Amino acid sequence: MVMRACVVIPTKDGGALFEKVLKETLSQVTGFPFEVLVVDSGSCDQTIAVVKNSRARLLSVKPEDFQHGATRNFAVSQTNAEFIAFLTHDARPANKFWLRNLVLKMEMCSDIAGAFGRHRAYPECDPFTADELERLFDHFRSLAPVQKNEDPARYATDAGYRQLLHFFSNNNSCLRRKVWEDIPFPEVNFAEDQAWAQKIIEAGYSKVYADDAVVYHSHSFNTLETFKRAFDESRAMKELFDYRLVPSRSSILRNSLHQLRMDRRLIVSRKLLKTSPVCVLKRPIRVLAKQLGSFAGQRANSLTGVQHLLSLDQSKKRGRNHKVTTE
């Protein structure tokens, strides 16, 4: 049976949250046939049992063979769907129309290669992370939903314009199979979604933002995790796009102070000193850790000691040759 859409969810030890993600995904109301394809890479918890007890299909790859771009390419090759949506095992659709809304946006124009939707913080997430997510996607909502390189001269010289057009997130996305056949995900260890967006934009396609295709997805990182996450992101942005997120040592302090000024407004408006005092006290250290991580990440090739300490975890280092079983 030819499917209109397929939802691909890579998993590893998804825990109780993944069970909710899968349930919400399978219960989507669409008006067209769709399937759910889970690609697991060595779960030791109940993840595999949860999938086997559902209507979803299960593929398994060896942990050492997982790779963010290549594994997603393999998953797409195992479905005949016209549209392929992506979630992660901790990104839960916020309602039963998430998938329909993504596909409807894709159908707006035949040159739309991909769609991405809003992320909303889980209720238990810290208020600063929730506010950052809200502001990021409010910005996309303020723009024209369909985004394309309409100004090649600006694209060549304006890094901010390129960053806007390259933004894409496989925590909540959809792509057109016909475009993927010509432009698969780059086989990279990090930011395969943004690397793909760069390729489709430069090939003349457009992407679309679906504000009504919402998932819950957020992380409340501790200080070391904040540093490591910023390090990984900054290194990938430098290697893939030559972006310098924190271009100088003076930028560390300047960016930190700018963020803390915005935080102060949030603290006052939401009375966070009363409701979340510990979170407020930790916030300046987390802000500084993010800036330091970004500064170090873009210089990773010359910081061998830091590279060793903060090397990507095994899930980001796995190889590209897939020995796959269907279950």
More confident residue, 171 or 310: 171
The reported pLDDT for the residue numbered 302 is: 62
Please state the rounded mean pLDDT for residues 19-28: 98
pLDDT, tens digit (0-9, with 9 covering 90-100), for 148-177: 999 999 999 999 999 999 999 999 999 999
- Classify residue 195 as left (phi > 0), alpha (psi -120 to 50) or beta: alpha
Q: At what angle do helices 192-202 and 159-166 cross, to 10 degrees?
A: 110
- Residue 65, pLDDT above cutoff 50: yes
The reported pLDDT for the residue numbered 306 is: 47
Bridge partners (DSSP) listed for residue 57:
37
* E strand residue ranges, the chain: 5-11, 34-40, 57-61, 83-87, 92-93, 112-120, 146-147, 172-176, 206-216, 324-326
The reported pLDDT for the residue numbered 303 is: 57
Please state, in angstroms and rounded to a whole number, the distance separating the CA atoms of residues 162 and 156.
8
Got the DSSP string for 196-218? HHHHHHHTT-EEEEEEEEEEE--
Identity of the amino acid at 243 = Y
| Structural contact between residues 11 and 54, judged by C-beta atoms closer than 8 angstroms | no
- Residue 313, pLDDT above cutoff 90: no
Q: Where are the domains of the chain?
A: 5-219+318-326, 223-315
- Residue 293, pLDDT above cutoff 50: yes
The reported pLDDT for the residue numbered 72 is: 96
pLDDT, tens digit (0-9, with 9 covering 90-100), for 170-225: 999 999 999 999 999 999 888 999 999 999 999 999 999 999 999 999 998 999 99
The reported pLDDT for the residue numbered 189 is: 82
pLDDT, tens digit (0-9, with 9 covering 90-100), for 228-244: 999 999 999 999 998 88
- Give the 3-state secondary structure of residue 257: helix
Please state, in angstroms and rounded to a whole number, the distance separating the CA atoms of residues 30 and 4.
10
Please state, in angstroms and rounded to a whole number, the distance separating the CA atoms of residues 45 and 242.
39
Please state the rounded mean pLDDT for residues 15-36: 97
The reported pLDDT for the residue numbered 323 is: 38
Sign, CA torsion 171/113/242/71: positive
Residues in the chain, overall count:
327
The reported pLDDT for the residue numbered 314 is: 38
Name residues whose C-beta falls within 8 Å of residue 82's C-beta, 6 or more positions apart in sequence: 2, 3, 4, 5, 176, 177, 178
Please state, in angstroms and rounded to a whole number, the distance separating the CA atoms of residues 27 and 209.
23
The reported pLDDT for the residue numbered 317 is: 39
- Residue 1, pLDDT above cutoff 90: no
Pick the CATH number of 5-219+318-326 from 3.10.20.10, 3.40.50.11540, 3.40.50.920, 3.90.550.10: 3.90.550.10
Of residues 26, 178, 183, the one with CA closest to residue 99: 26
Integer CA distances (angstroms), 247 to 194, 252, 257, 305, in order: 20, 9, 16, 21
Q: Which tokens in the block code for residue 148?
A: 């394309």
Name residues whose C-beta falls within 8 Å of residue 138's C-beta, 6 or more positions apart in sequence: none
Please state, in angstroms and rounded to a whole number, the distance separating the CA atoms of residues 88 and 160.
27
